[in-house]
Structure 1
Amino acid sequence: MTAADLAPQELRTLVAVADAGAFSAAADRLGTTQSAVSHAVRGIERKLGAVLFERGRFGARPTPAGERAAAHARRVLRMLQALAADVRAADTGEISGPLRIAAFRSAALHLLPPALERLAARHPGIDVTVTVVRELGAGTAGEVAAGRADLGIATLSGPPPAGLVGGELLREPYFLVHPAGRPDPRALPLVDWAENCGSYTRAWWAAQDWIPAATVSAEDDGAVLSMVGSGLGMAIMPALSLTGAPDTVEITDLGPERPYRCVGYVSTQELAATATVRALIRTLRSLEPPTPERAKAQLRAV
């Protein structure tokens, strides 16, 4: 018996144990017994020729091989769902089925809502779930690679990670943001957050001798805006983060040499070809990208 002999129910068992972290909790999710789950996992390990879980009083912790196996299992199970949905779409012309999206905070707040509104109007049968993921470490691409998302809205600074495909959706400019009415905003302390200033802005950032080290480190861009609006400092932020900025802050253009952040999507090659993911990508690409003028107009409209 080999991996080719694995049945969908075995894949579901593998994923349930990896997600639940214990055989007993996985059994509850699957509506079976702990002994049945334990027996199934041993059978899966024999077929794959690797130990997938460390057993102990802590439960069942995936080994590196187990993490990889669970990621593949999630993706295979998702493709079985996509198979049924795409066959129905070919027969009826109606695109339907689940669509799992992972997005970083400002994309989830300001980019996805108009896209999902258009998507729902065109394809009401698509059932969307969105998970907000910090764009640090593996980020949204890691959710796709692990099989927990069909598409990730990601900040791109190069080719997608190995095994994934992707493309650019928009390039958003950065601005100087400071308390409204301050005569010399560049003299203020810097407020920043961990997800800001990736490799796409690092060279520009290093060349600016007026930017001090961050005095205040906030949890996210929303907290940064609140602190700047309260007069605690200035910040350098991308356009998406400034959507609906309060009138207590002022947005200043950084000039023609301003840095940009590339926002794109990542998916697997298989899922990128499915009807639901293609529909979302088309919708995202139909949106107007943020510009300095639009960000300022949004600010004046508040």
Structure 2
Amino acid sequence: MTDLAPRELRVLVAVAEQGGFSAAAVTLGMTQSAVSHSVRGSERRLGAVLFDRGRSGAVPTPAGERALGYARRVLRLLEVMGSEVRAASHGGSRGGGAGDGPEEVAGPLRIAAFRSAALHLLPRALGRLTERHPGIVPEVRIVREVGRGTAGEVLDGRADLGIATLGTTSPVPPELVGGVLVEEGYALVHPAGHPAPRSLPLIDWTENCTSYTRAWWAGQEWLPPATVQAEDDGAVLSMVSTGFGMAVMPELSLVGASPSVEITDLGPERPTRSVGYVTTPELAVSPAVRALIRELRAVAG
């Protein structure tokens, strides 16, 4: 049976974050030999090499990345356990239902969100959350929603909850739980007053959820291939506002758009995407995560 102590998990995480055994030893207040011994013991019990050692330091192997995700999540659960037990000992409630009394919720709450959600959806939810639970300290990281995206941050134990795009092409990973918060449509965005906006060059960005628009996109003969790839949706909107081109963008990206751009509805067949949350089954029942989900649903509804 695999039986790693929290101290051994912290050693693994420190080696990965510091990029080597020596730097991890300094961070942990241990000797390098003690760190090496701990990692070797963990590798022996897990039956896999967790780090590639070299002159440039220590780099997690694929097995190591998987182990690190579990290590961070276990360590986070130990933190949550401590805070919840302390709250319970001072009269806090597990609660959670509509008729329950206020919960004593405190401590850090780590959130990963893609840019438009972090700018236009999350702030309102966090404002409501911290008003009701001033002891919660939100820690927000903006993560590009490409590849493993925000769900990957949760799986890797770097976030308690991720604001993610969900759908048939990007479902909730089987190790996580989640739900849809809002369905948002796409619109055509172009310089205000332009006489022929569909004749303009098309601007796009890597993070744009083309998986949601691909079938629709293929049927639009007027849409040319994108000739400009911007860094993010903010850059796209800026380029459109200066008359550089047109774009097809989701509603969250258009909140607070400049008067110099015009937003044209694409009709009932327009593409849509689902924006939701993902978290681990264990953290889904924690008071802080439940409270955030409630506020996200409130502002999204």
TM range (shorter): over 0.9
Amino acid across the alignment from 1:3: T
C-alpha distance in structure 2 between counterparts of 1:13 and 1:253, whole Å: 54
Map of 2:59 onto structure 1: 61
Conserved? CA contact 1:172–1:260, under 8 Å: yes
1:39 to 26, 34, 37: 37
C-alpha distance in structure 2 between counterparts of 1:58 and 1:288, whole Å: 46
User: What is the CA RMSD across the aligned residues, in angstroms?
Assistant: 1.3
Question: Residues 102-126 of structure 1, C-alpha deviation per residue, up to 9 Å, x if partnerless?
Answer: 1101111111111111110011111
Question: Counterparts of 1:140-155 in structure 2 under 5 Å?
Answer: 140-155=150-165
Map of 2:110 onto structure 1: 100
Amino acid across the alignment from 1:215: T
Map of 1:173 onto structure 2: 185
Map of 2:25 onto structure 1: 27
TM-score (norm 1): 0.92
Q: Shift in Å at residue 82 of structure 1?
A: 1.2
Map of 2:167 onto structure 1: 157
C-alpha distance in structure 1 between counterparts of 2:214 and 2:84, whole Å: 42
2:132 to 122, 129, 141: 122
Q: Alignment identity in percent?
A: 69
Conserved? CA contact 1:103–1:153, under 8 Å: yes
Conserved? CA contact 1:157–1:199, under 8 Å: no
TM-score (norm 2): 0.92
1:182 to 184, 187, 194: 194
Q: Shift in Å at residue 197 of structure 1?
A: 3.5
Conserved? CA contact 1:51–1:63, under 8 Å: yes
C-alpha distance in structure 2 between counterparts of 1:272 and 1:105, whole Å: 23
Deviates more, 1:52-61 or 1:155-164: 155-164
Map of 1:210 onto structure 2: 222
Map of 1:3 onto structure 2: 2
Contiguous gaps of at least 5 residues in structure 1: 290-302
C-alpha distance in structure 2 between counterparts of 1:197 and 1:60, whole Å: 35
Conserved? CA contact 1:133–1:140, under 8 Å: yes
Contiguous gaps of at least 5 residues in structure 2: 93-102
Map of 1:262 onto structure 2: 274
Question: Residues 89-143 of structure 1, C-alpha deviation per residue, up to 9 Å, x if partnerless?
Answer: 4432311122111110111111111111111001111111111111110101111
Amino acid across the alignment from 2:227: T
Say which SS state the counterpart of residue 269 (structure 1) adopts.
coil
Conserved? CA contact 1:88–1:94, under 8 Å: no
Question: Counterparts of 1:74-85 in structure 2 under 5 Å?
Answer: 74-85=72-83
Count of residue correspondences: 287
Amino acid across the alignment from 2:41: G
C-alpha distance in structure 1 between counterparts of 2:223 and 2:241, whole Å: 19
Map of 1:113 onto structure 2: 123
Q: Shift in Å at residue 209 of structure 1?
A: 1.0
Q: Shift in Å at residue 273 of structure 1?
A: 1.3
Map of 1:15 onto structure 2: 13
